[in-house]
């Protein structure tokens, strides 16, 4: 998917919401567990009820891997269902991969070619040759971890680099380096919604790149603060919420409850987009 298409969908749907399919077999409604593939049935219902209110789904691969090959199949069925029925949706494999070149190529094949995700989250710690194989697949995005939403992100990401001219943080140095590995047509960055005080600094470095902002909802990020500091002229942000939408209810009407939760966020986004 191209950047222009994502921007078009954001304006059309008046939403820059991504819904995280962190679908946990222990948290989905009990009555679904009689199905042959409970995770897929859960995802299908959530997708059918919430897609009007979002522009993206983010599939967290850990939640599928912990069910083994059966879980991997649920992930494959979910991305196939999205690609077939909602091709306008920007799909994110939240897999945080990254390895030496020949191995990263295998991960790129797995997620971007075979499963045909539009994007994958990539850990930049191993440097450019570990990231470039992902950039070699056309019409896809890598979403590089920059400043993550968790508390401990400060331990390494917020250390300061001494050689850099401006005493950059480690994460800022990574942005500076990596913005030349690709460009804003194939690279986005993960910046935690729990760290709004860093957004302006980041926007100076990368005014045009999309930011994927997790941490809204269960993790405590504030939507207004995020938008004030992170948006650019083309919107330029996708804000993700997982648990507070998909687990809005554990009853029979879980999909309806998820839609209501998603619509609430979409309404706030619509206000902000005005």
Which residues are tagged catalytic? Answer: 96
CB 15 within 8 A of CB 259: no
Site for a second copy contains 180 (CB under 8 A): no
Q: Tell me if 62 contacts a second copy by CB under 8 A.
A: yes
Q: Does 155 bind a second copy (CB under 8 A)?
A: yes
124 is a contact residue toward a second copy (CB under 8 A): yes
Q: Is residue 81 involved in binding a second copy (CB under 8 A)?
A: no
Q: Residues 245, 250, 253, CA angle at the centre, nearest 5°?
A: 85
Closest distance of CB 260 from a second copy, Å: 24
**Cβ–Cβ < 8 Å for 194, 215:** yes
Single out the residue of 5, 37, 48, 173 in contact with a second copy (rule: CB under 8 A): 173
Contact 46, 246 (CB under 8 A): yes
Which listed range, 81-89, 154-162, 220-228, 247-255, lies at the site for a second copy (CB under 8 A)? 154-162
Task: Give whichever of 34 and 152 is closer to a second copy, judged by the CB atom.
Answer: 152
Closest alpha carbon to 46 in 78, 75, 69, 77: 78
**Can residue 244 be called a binding residue for a second copy (CB under 8 A)?**
no
Q: What span, in angstroms and rounded, lies between the C-alpha atoms of 155 and 159? A: 7
Does position 159 interact with a second copy (CB under 8 A)? The reply is yes
Q: How far is the CB of 88 from a second copy (least distance, A)?
A: 25
Nearer to a second copy by Cβ, of 161 and 231: the residue is 161
Q: Running DSSP on this structure, what letter comes out for residue 112?
A: I
Q: Are 64 and 90 in contact (CB under 8 A)?
A: no
């Amino acid at each position: 998917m191209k950047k222009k298409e994502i921007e078009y969908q954001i304006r059309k749907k008046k939403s820059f919401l991504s819904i995280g399919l962190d679908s946990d077999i222990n948290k989905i409604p009990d009555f679904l567990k009689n199905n042959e593939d409970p995770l897929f049935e859960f995802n299908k219902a959530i997708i059918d009820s919430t897609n009007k209110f979002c522009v993206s789904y983010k599939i967290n691969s850990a939640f599928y891997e912990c069910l083994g090959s059966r879980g991997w199949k649920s992930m494959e069925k979910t991305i196939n269902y999205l690609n077939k029925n909602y091709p306008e949706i920007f799909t994110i494999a939240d897999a945080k991969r990254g390895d030496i070149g020949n191995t990263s190529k295998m991960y790129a094949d797995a997620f971007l070619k075979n499963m045909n995700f539009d994007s994958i989250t990539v850990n930049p710690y191993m440097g450019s040759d570990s990231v470039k194989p992902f950039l070699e697949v056309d019409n896809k995005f890598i979403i590089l971890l920059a400043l993550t939403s968790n508390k401990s992100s400060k331990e390494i990401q917020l250390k300061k680099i001494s050689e850099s001219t401006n005493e950059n943080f480690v994460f800022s140095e990574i942005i500076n380096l990596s913005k030349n590995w690709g460009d804003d047509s194939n690279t986005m960055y993960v910046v935690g919604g729990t760290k709004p005080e860093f957004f302006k600094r980041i926007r100076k470095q990368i005014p045009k790149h999309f930011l994927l902002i997790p941490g809204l909802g269960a993790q405590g990020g504030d939507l207004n603060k995020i938008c004030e500091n992170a948006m650019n002229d083309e919107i330029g942000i996708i804000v993700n919420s997982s648990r507070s939408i998909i687990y809005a209810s554990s009853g029979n009407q879980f999909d309806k409850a998820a839609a209501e939760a998603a619509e609430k966020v979409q309404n706030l986004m619509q206000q902000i987009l005005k």
